[in-house]
């Protein structure tokens, strides 16, 4: 072990570095009424070579000893392990709520977070818009072009949805070719604006996307009245029905979405 060195205020660079660890990051300096820092002892909190933080103590009346250094180092080791475990747990939670293919929330994540927002809406009186989106023709893409191309179409649709909404809106892949969004703090007129915005984004993608098919989304939107008390599943069913109404108005022949595949057709439903 290296010899213990007690840092004094005159050791300016080391003192400033230690002070950063000693003071709460939210504080603007030493708390009011705190005695001046005369000496301190600190140890880095390391886990497998990664710096997780620092543990520091200050102003011991009789100065610090090697035993003090051992104790602070042990505390730093325990702190580093606790931080690592918390980060690992957070990653596991994130994985359990996130769709691996698209990076959007999965069904569980969407229902959990959107459900919480709806409960909050009842208290705040703010309206939201529930949006249900279906990727047209995915079965055709999978059957004719392969599942790898189908996965790419799903990712393309997710990217369009991600770009069309705010980061604060809750966006999820409900499974297969279905997506849902809860657009927060919106009025009754927002649904039509959202649908138009999505269609414009799809049109821009098809101009530049370079895919052997035309990407197509069917969209249904429902205003969430905070006074209505309707649960999330019911709202999504209504948005889903409106989405299928739109889908039903489209040409159901795969030729409506395929570019240059010589008449090989199938259902786009």
Give mean pLDDT, residues 175-190: 92
- Give 145 or 231, the one with higher predicted confidence: 145
For residues 75 and 112, state if they share a domain: no
- Give 30 or 62, the one with higher predicted confidence: 62
Q: Identify whether 2 is part of a domain.
A: no
Whether the per-residue pLDDT at 191 is higher than 90: the answer is yes
**Look-up: residue for tokens 């790419």?**
152
Q: In which domain, by residue range, is 142 found?
A: 107-256
**pTM, entire model:** 0.64
Which residues lie below 8 Å from residue 3, measured CB to CB, with a gap of 6+?
none
Angstrom distance (rounded) from CA 237 to CA 23: 52
Whether the per-residue pLDDT at 161 is higher than 80: the answer is yes
Give mean pLDDT, residues 139-162: 94
Angstrom distance (rounded) from CA 121 to CA 69: 52
Active site residue 253: no
Looking at the chain, the whole-number percentage of residues with pLDDT higher than 70 is 78
Q: Identify whether 265 is part of a domain.
A: no
Catalytic residue among 136, 156, 177, 240: 177
From the list 44, 38, 42, the residue with the least C-alpha distance to 4 is 42
Write down the pLDDT at residue 92: 65
Tell me which H or E stretch contains 90. helix 66-97
Note the pLDDT tens digit of each residue in 18-33.
Answer: 444 444 444 445 667 7
Maximum separation of any 2 CA atoms in the chain, in Å: 89
* CATH code of the domain containing 223: 3.30.70.270
| Residue 220 CA: distances (Å) to CA of 85, 131, 164, 204 | 42, 6, 15, 20
Give mean pLDDT, residues 229-254: 76
Whether the per-residue pLDDT at 1 is higher than 80: the answer is no
DSSP symbol at 254: G
**Look-up: residue for tokens 């909190």?**
45
For residues 16 and 133, state if they share a domain: no
Q: Identify whether 267 is part of a domain.
A: no
Angstrom distance (rounded) from CA 244 to CA 159: 22
Length of the chain, please? 269
For residues 71 and 166, state if they share a domain: no
């Amino acid at each position: 072990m290296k010899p213990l060195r007690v840092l004094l205020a005159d050791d300016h660079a080391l003192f400033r570095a230690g002070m950063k660890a000693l003071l709460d990051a939210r504080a603007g300096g030493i708390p009011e009424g705190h005695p001046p820092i005369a000496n301190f002892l600190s140890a880095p909190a390391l886990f497998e070579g990664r710096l997780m933080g620092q543990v520091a103590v200050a102003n011991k009346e009789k100065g610090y000893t090697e035993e003090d250094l051992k104790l602070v180092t042990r505390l730093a080791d325990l702190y580093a392990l606790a931080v690592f475990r918390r980060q690992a747990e957070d990653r596991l939670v994130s994985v359990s709520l996130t769709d691996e293919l698209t990076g959007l929330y999965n069904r569980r994540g969407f229902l959990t977070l959107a459900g919480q927002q709806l409960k909050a809406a009842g208290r705040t009186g703010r309206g939201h818009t529930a949006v249900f989106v279906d990727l047209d023709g995915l079965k055709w893409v999978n059957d004719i072009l392969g599942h790898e191309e189908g996965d790419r179409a799903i990712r393309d649709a997710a990217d369009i949805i991600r770009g069309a909404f705010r980061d604060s809106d809750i966006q999820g892949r409900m499974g297969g070719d279905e997506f849902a969004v809860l657009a927060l703090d919106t009025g009754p007129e927002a649904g039509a604006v959202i649908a138009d915005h999505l269609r414009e984004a799809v049109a821009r993608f098809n101009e530049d996307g370079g895919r052997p098919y035309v990407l197509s989304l069917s969209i249904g939107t429902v205003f969430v009245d905070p006074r209505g008390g309707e649960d999330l599943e019911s709202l999504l069913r209504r948005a889903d029905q409106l989405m299928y109404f739109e889908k039903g108005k489209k040409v159901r022949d795969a030729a409506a979405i395929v570019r240059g595949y010589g008449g090989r057709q199938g259902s786009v439903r």
